[in-house]
Amino acid sequence: MRKSNLSMTLLLVVAVAAAAAYGILNRPPAENLPANDRVLQILEKGGCASCHSANPTLPFYANFPVAKGMIMKDVEDGYRAFDIEPLMEALRSGEMPRPVDVAKVEKVMLDQRMPQAKYYLVHWGSTTTRAKRDIILNWALTYRQLFYNDGLTGARAGEPVRPIAESVSVDPSKVELGFALYHDTRLSVDNTVSCATCHALNTAGVDNKQYSEGVDGQKGGVNAPTSYNAVYNFVQFWDGRAATLADQAAGPPLNPVEMASTSFDEIIAKLEADKQFKAAFEEVYPDGLTEANITDAIEQFERTLLTPNSAFDKYLRGDDSAITAEELRGYELFKQYDCATCHVGANLGGESYELMGLRNHYFAERNMPLTEEDNGRFKVTQQERDRHRFKVPGLRNIELTWPYYHDGSRATLEEAVRDMGKYQSGVELTSTEVAEITAFLKTLTGEYQGKKLTNDNKQ
């Protein structure tokens, strides 16, 4: 009896000591610290960089025979999904983090998915307590209010999806020239192809073909993204090889498949032969027709290709009647299945590079030969992690911009939604869920020049 009581007492003492140690190790960061520092401490103590980093800090037991394989698999999967280092560096330096990084951290906090139990059971101080979680969720809310400054209030102030602005700053004189150049076939070698050939304004900024046709009917190897709302993309092209809209505008004229001009000197010679156009251009650009000025004018025009005032924008701004119950359920599913951790911001995308086939093997199951374009960002960086990684496309006006994916392999929005669930979120969506998410996506069609955007190719 005495031994039993002693054992119980010892167990109680150990339990109390363990609980006390657990509480001390998991105290939230001090309240007097700046918000960024508090979040940084939580992420560092949570061991996030142990997996979500190119240079993970591994625990001492990582070289143990049994543990090594498990740990390296976690590191591989974690880094494939999310590189947390840009966020950590932004927090250390006081810079604004990327919206997509905030969305990813916020989502795992909401779902209480990280750190995994097998980690925090060994690393006691890494547990995400309610207090720590609240710190991060409040930080995410404050971040969005500061970063976007778009006037959202109440419950919608913290939404990862934001409304499109009515306008952005442009030079109207340059916009007028840019409009003309956007539609000018003289940018191509045989005067048959313009920007608008593949990105027509009356077909939602796309041509609705799997691969666009350039000079002599040549076909490119990647689906043409829409030019509407491209100003929101952090880089241009699927592989991100152009940093700005002006850089992007310089690409197709010299691409041998698209416009096939041999140089901008060739293009400029044709434009300068048009005395009226030359004079109009020099009124706006005193140094005349140059590659930099031509692409700048096109960029100025493309900055105006905004489609605000969609039904969902109206909902975000407080109009509950703007969308239906089905569409709202679709949005909640969109967030539940992590879609809004990549498709964030005003354009619902265009903020990061992400791996195509994160949860299942997209390319192995696609039934199409691999192409150079399938390499995605790898084409530019030659870094293995970037293979099959693409700039996330924006989802504005998505019902009008079929076919879908970088390879144009999905003909309908329903197909695209279903397979995104499988390959990116790792879920088999039900037919009801597909219908609801699709209904939500159709609320993202906005207005251009005061009228709802349409597509003349839509029957």
Number of residues that make up the chain: 459
Number of other CB atoms surrounding residue 7 within 10 Å: 10
| Structure token digits, residue 160 | 């990862």
Dig out the tokens for 402 from the structure: 């079929």
The span from the CA of 125 to the CA of 135, in Å, is: 16
- Is 258 known to be catalytic? yes
Do residues 417 and 246 lie in contact, with contact meaning Cβ atoms separated by under 8 Å? no
* Catalytic hit among 159, 258, 299, 399: 258
Q: Give the closest residue to 168 by CA, choosing from 361, 29, 302, 326.
A: 302
CB 142 within 8 A of CB 157: no
Is the CB of residue 196 less than 8 Å from the CB of residue 187? no
**One-letter identity of residue 194:** S
Q: What residue type is assigned to position 297 of the chain?
A: A
Give me 278's structure tokens: 């030359």
Closest to 115 (Cα-Cα) out of 52, 32, 64, 36: 52
Angle at 245 between CA 240 and CA 249, to 5 degrees: 95
Q: What is the DSSP string of 49-63?
A: GGTSSSS----GGGG
- Identity of the residue numbered 17: A
CB 55 within 8 A of CB 89: no
Give the type of residue at 154.
G
Catalytic residues: 258
